[in-house]
Amino acid sequence: MSAIRATVDCYPWVVVGAESPKDECGLFGVWAPGEDVARLTYFGLFAQQHRGQESAGIAVSDGTNILVYKDLGLVSQVFNEATLTTLHGDLAIGHTRYSTTGSSTWDNAQPVFKTDGTRSIALGHNGNLVNTHELAELAGRRGSATSDTDVVTAMLAEHMADNGLEDAALQLLPTLAGAFSFVFMDERSVYAARDPLGIRPLSIGRLPNGFCFASETCALDIVGATLVRDVEPGELVRIDDRGLHSARFAETPRAALCIFEFVYLARPDSRLRGTSVHEARREMGRLLAQEHPTQADMVIAVPQTAHPAAQGYAEVSGLPYGDGLIKNNYVGRTFIQPSQSLRDRGVKLKLNPLPDSIRAKRLVVVDDSIVRGTTTRQIVQALREAGATEVHLRITSPPIKWPCFYGIDMSTRQELVASDLTVDEIRAFVGADSLGYLSLDGLVEAAGSPKDDFCRACFDGEYAVPIPEQAGKFVLEDQLQLPTP
């Protein structure tokens, strides 16, 4: 553990993030003859918009040709009736992106498409590979590829010409290190694969006349699919006119689902390993109330993720639950930043207090995490200005001390407020009257599986897959600046 930690400390350039952990990517794939698969994919992506807001794309096949449409923006901005009606076929894959390797550019939008003129492949990826540099060297893509997804797609395209896509995948997937859930397709089949530890989620759904894949089960619900099961770690699944076929490309030494999916990433109406995310978050709040009780007048949540946990805290503490902060749901990726004068006047783009609700009250404020602490500090200040007499922060996860290399664009260790400060020092920095974090044991209990069945690296530094020295969001783009030997 100490060796890995020392390595992580060596490169502060690894992932530059904002205050909150950024979501990763959302995947959807479908094979359903006779259905409007482009529209099904659109709604599957729409349900997973929270997992990536930088770009969106859909690839469809009519059995002979693959057509890809993608662009920067939200799903509803990229697609409309006119574009969807041009996407005809019986099978499709889709992707919503938040970049974790490579910049947010059109070239890096997914699905990635490759063809040799005879056979084609389109691929979407959720996760992050830690041996991207090594793979790019092996594939001869150093200096041209700018994402791990591009490298993987190019390698599959090269090998499928001789062996077919399934055999190419079975050869390539064991060489990949890190976290990956893939959906990909050729002209006739849709495939899904998950890394040997199952760090990122991926599920299988059954439609009346076909099957589909999705990163979260809420996407299955929205298209009327019935959950069959999760794609198993180390498994490659194919769906086509031959039905559903499974092949194993790697043994599973242990399960390591990202526990942060329960804390923040997944929608509350999704299920992970059969556990309701909403109920897990509510249990986090119950346990948090037991671990960190306090005297107060009302429990409120920082919208939206923390609502179930705040309800659980109120249930155990006996304190009334109420609304104290209102979130503007339309502030996501905005290209118009407030001027300095507006910032100086405290313009609140995302969250605004309800003074009539919180004035003269001692508040328990429940949130999912503290990353850099700057936004939390602004929230505390805004609540005090609105009349709160005391602000007691309760966080439904342990302190985040280590960056993520498996598909969450989280700040560098130097920017993580908990990496160097004690809990009381963080409390003083954000200006709260008290601060309590849920213990790691409490979080694991709420998530409903044994501790070793989760990746917990951002909390305890125990990385499920070793992190090489050459890793990070811009590892391939950095190579573009180097002379080719």
State how beta strands 454-455 and 257-258 pair.
Answer: parallel
CA distance 241 to 87: 20
| Residues in Cβ contact with 217 at an 8 Å cutoff, skipping those fewer than 6 apart | 203, 205, 227, 270, 271
Q: Give span(s): CATH 3.60.20.10, the chain.
A: 2-256
- Homologous superfamily (CATH) of 2-256 is Aminohydrolase, N-terminal nucleophile (Ntn) domain (3.60.20.10)
The answer to whether the peptide bond before residue 320 is cis (omega within 30 degrees of 0) is no
CA distance 246 to 237: 5
* Residues known to be catalytic: 25
CATH 3.40.50.2020 domain residues, the chain: 276-331+346-447
Alpha-carbon span 461 to 399, nearest angstrom: 11
In this structure, whether the domain defined by 276-331+346-447 belongs to CATH 3.90.550.10 is answered with no
* Two structure tokens written together for 155: 């390698």
Backbone angles phi, psi at 244, to 5 degrees: -105, 125
Looking only at the bridges linking them, the beta strands covering 362-367 and 298-301 are parallel
What the block records as the tokens of 378 is 């602004």
Distance CA 427, CA 373 (A): 10
pLDDT in tens, the chain (485 residues): 333 322 232 222 222 233 555 556 999 999 999 999 999 999 999 999 999 888 999 999 999 999 999 999 999 999 999 999 999 999 999 999 875 444 456 778 999 999 988 899 999 999 999 998 889 888 775 545 678 999 999 999 999 988 899 999 999 999 999 999 999 999 999 999 999 999 999 999 999 999 999 999 999 999 999 999 999 999 999 999 999 999 999 999 999 999 999 999 999 999 999 999 999 999 999 999 999 999 999 999 999 899 999 999 999 999 999 999 999 877 654 445 567 666 656 557 788 999 999 999 999 999 999 999 998 999 999 999 999 999 999 999 999 999 999 988 775 788 899 999 999 999 999 999 999 999 999 999 999 999 999 999 999 999 999 998 655 544 444 443 333 33
* Closest residue by Cα to residue 280 from 427, 360, 396, 366: 396
